[in-house]
A and B are shown apart, each in its own frame.
Chain A
Amino acid sequence: MPLKGFLHQTENGSPVTVGNYKIIPVSRAYGVILPKVAGGFVWNHPLAVRIEREGESDQEIPIHDVTRIAQVRLIAGSVFATAVLWAILHLLGRKVQKQEPLNG
């Protein structure tokens, strides 16, 4: 019977040897398996590549999802810029309201 609940697993792939290197791809998966119904959601993505070389310490190169990073930055940037603009307009509006009785 399949497991139920939250899923969080980091898994190493089979090592690939190239010259003196041994490359081990690493993936990470997150998921939710709904307990009441037979269903759920799984998100699995590449995490890093571990490089092992004889006589040297292991090296790990992270894999970044540049498309996702760009998407998040664009959306977050637009929300932030809009908030700043709103704050500026709001402050300007209050200043004008304060000055109006003096001028009149």
Chain B
Amino acid sequence: MAEEKQEHTIDIDAANLMAAVEDVNQTIEKFLDTASVGKVYAEPIRVGDTVIIPSAEVVAGMGFGMGVGFGRKGEGSQESGGGSGGGGGGQVLSRPVAVIVATPEEVRIEHVYDRTKIALAALTAAGFMVGMVARMLRGR
């Protein structure tokens, strides 16, 4: 049985495609910029002789994807069509970690305690323990 070979062509607006690629590249460069030291430490705040530098942890994730598809318009039809599309998404999370306090006499680090996160972790740990112990006792 002879295989049918058919070439498909899609009209793609080259200018739009290049603009999209450029947008993606710019976004990736901005994303990679989250690895720079400037994103972790804020601008120093001067209050008299004292300098305060807040610091934070930064977590960023993102992804892009695109695809092209084509096919016949219907069963037995000779007409064909196609299209392309793409999309992406990402998120940046930031959380304060510590504050550097510098005076002419000393430099000290003031740590930031996030009580809500610690309380949630304690509740999760307690829930896990209670659940596991209940399961162990039930199994005996």
CB <8 Å contact, B107 and A18: yes
Q: How far is the CA of A29 from the CA of B124 in the complex (A)?
A: 28
In the complex, chain B residues 84-125 whose Cβ is within 8 Å of any chain A Cβ: 88, 90, 95, 97-98, 100, 102-105, 107-109, 111-114, 117-118, 121-122, 124-125
Q: Which residue of A lies closest to B105 (CB)?
A: A19
Q: How far is the CA of A49 from the CA of B99 in the complex (A)?
A: 11
Q: Which residue of A lies closest to B33 (CB)?
A: A42
**Binding site of B, secondary structure by majority: helix, strand, loop or mixed?**
mixed
B117 contacts across to A, CB distance below 8 A: 67, 71
Q: How far is the CA of A37 from the CA of B31 in the complex (A)?
A: 14
Interface residue A74 (Cβ < 8 Å from any Cβ of B): yes
Mask, A54-79, CB within 8 Å of B = 1, is 00000001011111101100110111
In the complex, chain A residues 64-97 whose Cβ is within 8 Å of any chain B Cβ: 64-68, 70-71, 74-75, 77-79, 81-82, 85-86, 89, 93
Interface residue B10 (Cβ < 8 Å from any Cβ of A): no
Q: How far is the CA of A70 from the CA of B61 in the complex (A)?
A: 25
CB <8 Å contact, B109 and A18: no
Interface residue A102 (Cβ < 8 Å from any Cβ of B): no
Interface residue B79 (Cβ < 8 Å from any Cβ of A): no
Q: How far is the CA of A57 from the CA of B55 in the complex (A)?
A: 25
Q: How far is the CA of A77 from the CA of B129 in the complex (A)?
A: 10
